[in-house]
Amino acid sequence: MSAPNSEYDPVEVSSLHPDEVARMVSDALSAFEAARDLDELKQARLAHTGDRAPLTLANREIGALPPQARKDAGRRVGAARREVGEALARRQAVLEAERDERVLVDEAVDVTLPWDRAPRGARHPLTTIQERVADVFVAMGWEVAEGPEVEAEWLNFDALNIGPDHPARTMQDTFFVAAEGADGADGADDSGLVLRTHTSPVQARTMLARTRQTADGSGEPGRGMPIYVICPGRTFRTDELDATHTPVFSQVEGLAVDEGLTMAHLKGTLDHFASSMFGAGITTRLRPSYFPFTEPSAEMDLQCFVCRGASVGDPERPCRTCGSEGWIEWGGCGMVNPRVLVACGVDPERYTGFAFGMGLERTLMFRHGIEDMHDMVEGDVRFATAFGMEV
């Protein structure tokens, strides 16, 4: 067995030679400097400080040296590893800061860019108000009735006590439906159909459906009395489109037929309807009027929302909304004319009825301060969206 070699010179172990250690340090430092991002730095770290890095391997050599030489080499390699470690930490900090800055830029959201998502549609306020009106009446036990928009002339007029020569026919300028193959030259081409000028034919339809017994008894007999129905729907008149008129508009018709109904029931119902549309506390009035299908007839007026009547007789405070009248007309109403009851098979000795018809565009205009009918009919989704996504 040979004695330990006390003459052993650590400088002889090439990996521990000062020049060699300095080269390892400068290799590591330039590798860290060359790393352009954290991934590259990680590679450099493994290469220069990992298990198989030259400095690590050199460090392992130290243990085999005699004590004196071990101290020297230990100090040298220790200082080298510290230097490398510090350089690594510095570079790491720099690259992390760069990465953070880049992320901020890459992931920045430019909130001023125009959005390119397809805009969501919206329900038209006329649709939602029809449903709201229906809700108000369904809550009172009424039913919702429907009728066709292309209506028999007889139901639109005659059944409602508006005969062929009745002056009231001209109150409602009518779109007539031409017969097939008609040249439109004269009235003889009429098909007997019109675009309904009001929702009132649904009154006649409902009463007929409820009272009809088929001649041979084979059909469904009518369900009979009483009747409480509401009919919101589209109506047509030959008006030009302007700020307050439209040839296609909407009404809501109401019809109640029962024993003992009076004008008081009509007024109470309409007051409830008005407050559910415009808010509790709205003031209403009935003003005598004329409709062939109701007797007596009235117009239901609402107290002007804007001036609350204060503009009446005060030239200092004119009101554009009500024309300084203090009142705004909402719709027609009255007790169903007994002649209409008879035409529809209802016994006027036993039953009375009331009916009303309100314009829904007007209702919306009042409710939401819409000033121009064009907005209501043009179908611009931006108009409808403003009413929210009520369903």
Minimum distance of ligand PHE from residue 342's CB (angstroms): 17
CA atoms within 13 A on the CB side of 91: 23
User: Minimum CB separation from ligand PHE for residue 205, in Å?
Assistant: 14
H/E element, 353 = strand 352-359
Say if residues 54 and 70 touch (Cβ distance below 8 Å): no
Peptide bond preceding 10 in cis form (omega within 30 of 0):
no
**10/357 with CB nearer ligand PHE:** 357
Pick from 284, 326, 289: which is nearest to 301 by CA? 284
Find the shortest distance in angstroms from Cβ 227 to ligand PHE: 14
> Cα Rg for the chain, rounded, in angstroms?
45
Q: How far is the CB of 253 from ligand PHE (least distance, A)?
A: 6
Q: Cβ closer to ligand PHE: 161 or 294? A: 294
The CA distance from 174 to 364, in Å, is: 24
- Nearest approach, Cβ of 264 to ligand PHE (angstroms)? 16
**Residue closer to ligand PHE (CB basis): 62 or 364:** 364
Q: Which two tokens stand for residue 208?
A: 């007929």
Q: Tell the residue number behind the tokens 């930490």, with chain if given.
A: 89
The candidate with the shortest Cα–Cα distance to 253, out of 327, 142, 150, 152, is 142
**At 4, phi and psi to the nearest 5?**
-60, 145
Q: In what order do the strands lie in the sheet with 176-178?
A: 150-152, 190-195, 176-178
Token representation of residue 248:
């296609």
Q: How far apart are CA 355 and CA 261, in angstroms?
A: 11
What is the three-class DSSP state of 368? helix
Find residue 337's DSSP bridge partners: none
Residue closer to ligand PHE, measured from CB, 355 or 360: 355
Q: Which is nearer to ligand PHE, 289 or 385 (CB)?
A: 289
Q: Given the rule CB under 6 A, which residues bind ligand PHE?
A: 198, 200, 253, 291, 294, 332-334, 355-357
Q: Is 295 annotated as ligand-binding?
A: yes
Least distance to ligand PHE from the beta carbon of 355, Å?
Answer: 4
The structure tokens listed for 158 are 């005659």
Name every residue whose Cβ is closer than 8 Å to that of residue 230 and which is 6 or more positions away in sequence.
133, 134, 137, 138, 142, 143, 144, 145, 252, 253, 254, 255
Total Cβ atoms within 10 A of residue 23: 12
Nearer to ligand PHE, 161 or 200 (CB): 200
CA separation, residue 15 to residues 6, 46, 69, 87, 315 (Å): 20, 19, 14, 21, 109
Strands 294-303 and 327-336: antiparallel
Q: Of 76 and 198, which CB lies nearer to ligand PHE in the complex structure? A: 198
Crossing angle for the helix pair 67-106 and 18-34, to the nearest 10 degrees: 10
Question: By C-beta, is 10 or 334 nearer to ligand PHE?
Answer: 334
| Closer residue to ligand PHE (CB): 21 or 335 | 335
CB of 167 to ligand PHE, least distance (A): 15
CB 267 to ligand PHE: min, Å:
14
Instruction: Give the nearest distance from C-beta 295 to ligand PHE in angstroms.
Output: 10
Please report, in range form, the residues annotated as the binding site: 295
Please report, in range form, the residues annotated as the binding site for Mg(2+): 295
